[in-house]
Amino acid sequence: MVYFPYHRDKLLALASVDPYTAWYDFEYSRSLHDVANLVSYFNATFNFAIYVFSGSKFRAELRSLLCLVASLVKIDFLSNATKVLSLETERESGARETRERERGRRRDRASARRAREERERPRGAASAR
């Protein structure tokens, strides 16, 4: 990509002198570009496969990422077995636990406030209720 302007100008200059050679050079450059793309795709594929099969931390992170994104199917990379997960992701269950803790705190504060009010209320007022 960096050398594209250079090669374009070179091919245009060559095309004005010898169109056949310019076309041949263009086809050669395009085939080199295709080979470079193919090598980069294979590199990305093999790097991913190497990390999946050799890195336990990478597998764990990838598994948690896929569980958060898909939230339906958990893939065990060591075997071909798949297990169906609940519809609730780890993030949702954490949020649910946080909401439940907050509700518990509110209930505790409300019951403490009622108990304090009961202690502070005169005896006669409690029976009038």
Q: How many CA atoms lie within 13 A of 5 on its CB side?
A: 1
pLDDT of residue 40: 92
Helix (H) or strand (E) holding 3: none
Q: Measured between alpha carbons, how far is 83 from 87 in angstroms, rounded to an integer?
A: 12
pLDDT of residue 43: 92
pLDDT of residue 84: 42
Assigned token pair, 12: 């245009």
pLDDT in tens, the chain (129 residues): 677 787 778 778 877 878 778 788 888 888 888 999 999 999 998 888 887 788 788 778 877 877 766 555 545 444 444 444 444 455 566 667 777 888 888 888 888 888 888 888 877 655 555
Q: Measured between alpha carbons, how far is 126 from 129 in angstroms, rounded to an integer?
A: 6
Q: Measured between alpha carbons, how far is 19 from 34 in angstroms, rounded to an integer?
A: 22
